[in-house]
Structure 1
């Protein structure tokens, strides 16, 4: 009897230990967004998985007594919240990302993107973001759709033919309000974007309203945050006025992306 009980305890401990080893903490200590929808981010064996389903949103208010929420605005999230650094820091962000090739969202033609993107073909879907601590102060987005793949400031990071493969991403940036700012972005080891001798927190290259950036606001952030995961923007609280039948951006099936080897460290640039 005692031997059987000890065996049962051993088996229970084995499965408990296996569970602890396979399910790990989220990278960089990032926390799940409290407005995540039905598919919660999960980190297991070093890989963090995010997923979206059409129309599945959070009704949690944005802040205080505001009446707006993601369901009213058509936003859907499966993301991890911000990791902040102070302006003046030089930081290297790196990770590998993977996009499910079954994605069935092609993006949209956005009049706000004229002059920024070829044919003004844009996307409401992002997989990572860098933002200031001001209002409507998103600075850079890593954007996704099945037509163009993954783009950063309109530059191709991964083509649709790369979906289903792990793609290394690296951004080395000095966050600066003055002309000593610098930024280099690499995908698969290839430089796709570089700027130096310019501010990196004030005048962003693709600042328009559907990029969650308002060019009329003179934001001067003191901190820069990093978010990772899937966020699909909807049509906003005025969706009916714009003639839409729903606040949600249409797509079929589910959208899945994974991250691994997520790192963020301060560096020195020679």
Structure 2
């Protein structure tokens, strides 16, 4: 028996209150659970609205359980999220949809990130994500919905909501066919307006891949399952935060009153189609137009496929720049309008019958090549892009390319006036001296390392190898030496490989994209 009746009354009242609270609390959205790494404020639902809040340093000490001995507090992450309990798999078509509303007091500015140059305007990135789609491995994030006061709410740097609209409800939808081949497609929409679309590509690979974006560019991961996480996560600076300038802790700054976001109408729907009935009807019209012109689309049923996309691009030779660079649901109307014009029938025939991109010949060497970083984008003339790649069939230790393309692109004739390749391998002092004796200079990076520059000779539409490349090969170590021939005499193969696998379309510098395609088509000669 309780000796103090006042205490007994208080405890009894507490029990009654707690029971009532549990009985009246709204459940989480169907198919979701609270994330085990949430901070001190867990998501709650009231009247169908899930409320998420994060506060400065209110993190979780729960070990990740992957053997690294890490947790959110150590890495500076603060989160309040729910996760979809069913992971989707390769081959499934899904729509993820929800309404969101950021607190109008939201004030996070983001941060300047050199790795985000070429992806975000001025390299201004965000540590705050509102939703993510992730593979099962460490640092295997594929897509994120981010937010800051410069770029607003954005998906792959495409703005979903303007900063001045914070506080208003908006609807985000991601339709995707998860795929590790060209059968994949993805469409992101905000308030029923498409902000990003891609077709005919592997959707299990991150289009924006750098380490601080939870993606390792050279890891070559091939995830087969995908988890959906909803709710705010402020990523930190990681365990190495002391090595960065101007950081006082591993945490990025969360405003004193915290960051809040409301979400409602959350749904995950399987078995969706990419094209609406109206878009499918328009595609069917385009396919019939291509067929009438003697070009063979993949089908006449209004279904998007690779052959139709290639036929639309190459059935007729349109004036340069008059058609979009790819056929997808956002550019479908432009293609349909172009092929509906009577004068289109009299244009010269393209290369649709071949069923492939317009390559002058197949590459002798196949190289899976990707661009990690573009320091200049759009119509800038200065090019500084970092490439990495795997050479199929080459011996281990000599099967990787890691180089930078430097140069000055001239948009008047769509070619480079200056073109150099810079190897990423660090050179020893002896290698620097030996390269100099062969007539090759080096560039010193800010970290103090030296790298050889191979400046190509230029005459018209030909970029010939500089003299004494054999001497340079002898001057360098085994790994950098093995890369020299691929750049000085085999760059056409690199270009053809990028065109054959569609990688050239993802290049962020417009001039470099034009250049690579022209090299692949045989319009520009690089090396021999």
Q: TM-score, normalised by structure 2?
A: 0.47
Alignment of 1:171-186 (within 5 A): 171-186=174-189
Residue 142 of structure 1: aligned partner? 145
Q: Which structure features the higher share of strand residues? A: 1
What is the total number of aligned residue pairs between the two structures?
255
Q: Is the 8 A contact 1:57 1:77 kept in 2?
A: yes
Residue 266 of structure 1: aligned partner? 270
In structure 1, distance between residues paired with 2:195 and 2:23: 39
Q: Is the 8 A contact 1:28 1:264 kept in 2?
A: no
In structure 2, distance between residues paired with 1:240 and 1:190: 42
In structure 1, distance between residues paired with 2:54 and 2:254: 10
In structure 2, distance between residues paired with 1:252 and 1:134: 31
In structure 2, distance between residues paired with 1:192 and 1:268: 18
Residue 188 of structure 1: aligned partner? 191
Is structure 2 residue 64 aligned with structure 1 residue 56?
A: no
Q: Which structure features the higher share of helix residues? A: 2
**Unaligned runs of at least 5 residues, structure 2:** 1-15, 274-302, 304-528
In structure 1, distance between residues paired with 2:261 and 2:185: 29
Structure 1 residue matching 2:146: 3-state secondary structure: strand
Larger RCO (alpha carbons 8 Å, 6+ apart): 1
In structure 2, distance between residues paired with 1:79 and 1:266: 22
Residue 457 of structure 2: aligned partner? none
**1:241 Cα shift?**
2.1
Structure 1 counterpart of 2:171, from 152, 155, 168:
168
Structure 1 residue matching 2:179: 3-state secondary structure: coil
**Unaligned runs of at least 5 residues, structure 1:** 1-11
Task: Please tell me the root mean square deviation across aligned C-alpha atoms, in Å.
Answer: 1.8
Structure 2 residue matching 1:220: 3-state secondary structure: coil
In structure 2, distance between residues paired with 1:165 and 1:267: 30
Q: Is the 8 A contact 1:90 1:172 kept in 2?
A: yes
In structure 1, distance between residues paired with 2:90 and 2:254: 37
Alignment of 1:219-234 (within 5 A): 219-234=221-236
Cα pair distance change 1:64/1:133, threshold 3 Å: closer
In structure 1, distance between residues paired with 2:84 and 2:96: 13
| Rg larger for | 2
Residue 241 of structure 1: aligned partner? 243
In structure 1, distance between residues paired with 2:125 and 2:272: 34
Cα pair distance change 1:246/1:168, threshold 3 Å: same
